């Protein structure tokens, strides 16, 4: 590595060995920035604050990259613990009575669990309590307890490594506040990377009260105005920000999409080469969803479509690998429609095993309902397998990619007839005209990181010009 590389502090709450959303984008940038004149220094959270860790991801971090983890502090937990200790000390000093004992233990002889009395507390009061807790401890999110120590550590890194720039990626959006605070104190250019919308999410407000939402909107505006450059991960999201912040120069907002790690291409090709191709007439068509199903990513209309095709003599096996919200009760739902043998739910598996499984199936399922601004990261790995993608989405970012490169079929997420029609096209090998080479070139992680390095250089120039204009 070139020791003359400029240093950039990368503020990312999620970073390997943590296995969670956004990790792959940040890791990819860190790996390839070293090839483009920049040396990342990562400021992240402590792994002990996370439940899912992946040591393979950690092994991909270049050894020359310094990674500093800062522990998350949850003030509300500390306050609750102190209150419990105070109550225990008070109880120890007072004579024991049935009333006192019951109240401190959280139960009462007059209230039976599950009774109407237990459900009596006013729901409005409960709602207000949740809103107050959010305002006190979770603005802009429940990771804000990380900010104070992270900023302190960030300033230590500034003193030690003399960085040229601060880059902060979100969510969680408290990371942007950390990056903003360090950039202000150190008088360094700030680059923000929005992997998701923040205050104008298409599925409704993130926060519990109008006060919180107004507060968070102010925080977003402050961060955006402080930044030299704001990166959005789809062109559609860039346009949304540029239109909303129309008083700012539109060139302040740029799009750098998600992509794939080019180094996985040989592995994927070897997995594909190991497969024995069989005629679709000899076996069911196997459709894989690699990832989590929850909230509005509802697979039940897909099961309805599978049942409709079965009635028409076409057999599709839907394979779900990853978390599936038990509220969907998917296997029972499938049994009620007579297709329980065609629905398989399997637990999450390591990334390399998932790539192997993706090589073994016939097509992929991608669910992105309800938002036109975002693209799931798994799409970019799917394209390397050159297999058709059944996409359930609204018009927007995902649909534009699928249509532009002709890499699959699109259906409405809640319309079983539409899904069944799109599924039927999977038998016709409708992606023979797909622009596989073009789509792979446009979403190659190495070339996308080159764009990020160019943004860093632009941010430094923009910040320098702004400083010259300051009195």
Domain ranges of the chain: 6-73+141-259+446-469, 263-443
Write down the pLDDT at residue 428: 74
Q: 3-class SS at 260? A: strand
- Is a pLDDT exceeding 90 seen at residue 103? no
Residues 302-325, mean pLDDT to the nearest whole number: 96
Largest CA distance in the chain: 82
Torsion of CA 240, 245, 249, 251, to 10 degrees: -20
Residues 387-400, mean pLDDT to the nearest whole number: 96
* CA pair distance 41, 46, nearest whole angstrom: 15
Per-residue pLDDT band for 461 (boundaries 50, 70, 90) equals very high
Please tell me which residue, 26 or 53, carries the higher pLDDT value: 26
Write down the pLDDT at residue 344: 98
Per-residue pLDDT band for 279 (boundaries 50, 70, 90) equals low
297-298-301 Cα angle (round to 5)? 135
CATH 3.40.50.2000 fits 263-443, yes or no: yes
Write down the pLDDT at residue 274: 92
Per-residue pLDDT band for 242 (boundaries 50, 70, 90) equals very high
Looking at residue 233, the DSSP 8-state letter turns out to be: S
* Fold held by 6-73+141-259+446-469: Rossmann fold (3.40.50)
The pTM is what? 0.82
Per-residue pLDDT band for 430 (boundaries 50, 70, 90) equals low
* CA pair distance 279, 277, nearest whole angstrom: 7
Q: How many whole angstroms from its chain centre is CA 101?
A: 45
Q: Which of 471, 470, 453 is nearest to 167 (CA)?
A: 453
Q: Do domains 6-73+141-259+446-469 and 263-443 have the same CATH topology?
A: yes
- What are the φ and ψ backbone dihedral angles of 135, each rounded to 5 degrees? -60, -35
Q: Which of 176, 228, 226 is nearest to 197 (CA)?
A: 176
Cis peptide before 75 (omega within 30 of 0): no
């Amino acid at each position: 590595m070139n020791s003359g590389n400029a240093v950039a502090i990368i503020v990312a709450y999620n970073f390997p060995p943590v296995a969670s959303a956004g990790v792959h984008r940040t890791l990819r940038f860190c790996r390839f920035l070293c090839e483009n004149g920049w040396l990342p220094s990562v400021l992240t959270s402590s792994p002990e604050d996370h439940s899912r860790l992946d040591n393979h991801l950690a092994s991909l971090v270049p050894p020359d990259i310094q990674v500093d983890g800062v522990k998350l502090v949850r003030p509300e937990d500390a306050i609750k613990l102190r209150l419990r200790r105070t109550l225990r000390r008070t109880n120890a000093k007072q004579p024991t009575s049935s009333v006192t004992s019951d109240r401190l233990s959280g139960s009462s002889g007059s209230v039976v669990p599950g009774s109407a009395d237990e459900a009596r507390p006013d729901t409005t009061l409960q709602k207000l309590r949740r809103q107050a807790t959010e305002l006190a401890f979770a603005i802009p999110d429940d990771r804000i307890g990380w900010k104070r120590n992270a900023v302190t550590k960030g300033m230590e890194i500034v003193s030690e490594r003399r960085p040229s720039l601060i880059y902060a990626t979100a969510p969680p959006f408290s990371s942007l506040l950390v990056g903003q605070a360090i950039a202000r104190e150190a008088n360094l250019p700030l680059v923000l990377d929005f992997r998701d919308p923040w205050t104008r999410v298409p599925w409704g407000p993130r926060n519990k009260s109008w006060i919180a939402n107004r507060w968070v909107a102010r925080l977003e505006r402050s961060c955006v105005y402080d930044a030299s450059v704001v990166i959005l991960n789809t062109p559609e999201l860039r346009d949304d920000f540029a239109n909303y912040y129309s008083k700012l120069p539109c060139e302040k907002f740029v799009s750098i999409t998600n992509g794939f790690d080019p180094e996985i291409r040989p592995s994927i090709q070897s997995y594909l080469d190991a497969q024995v191709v069989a005629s679709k007439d000899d076996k069911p068509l196997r459709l894989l969803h690699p990832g989590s199903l929850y909230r509005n990513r509802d697979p039940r209309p897909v099961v309805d479509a599978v049942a409709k095709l079965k009635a028409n003599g076409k057999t599709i096996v839907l394979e779900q690998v990853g978390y599936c919200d038990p509220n969907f009760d998917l296997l029972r739902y499938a049994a009620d429609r007579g297709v329980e043998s065609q629905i398989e739910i399997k637990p999450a598996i390591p990334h390399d095993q998932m790539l192997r499984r993706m090589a073994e199936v016939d097509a992929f399922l991608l669910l992105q309902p309800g938002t036109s601004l975002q693209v799931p990261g798994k799409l970019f790995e799917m394209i390397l397998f050159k297999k058709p993608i059944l996409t359930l989405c609204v018009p927007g970012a995902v649909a534009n990619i699928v249509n532009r490169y002709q890499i699959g079929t699109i259906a409405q997420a809640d319309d079983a007839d539409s899904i069944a029609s799109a599924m039927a096209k999977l038998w016709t090998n409708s992606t023979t005209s797909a622009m596989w080479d073009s789509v792979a070139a446009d979403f190659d992680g190495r070339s996308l990181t080159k764009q990020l390095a160019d943004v860093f250089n632009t941010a430094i120039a923009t910040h320098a010009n702004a400083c010259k204009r300051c009195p």
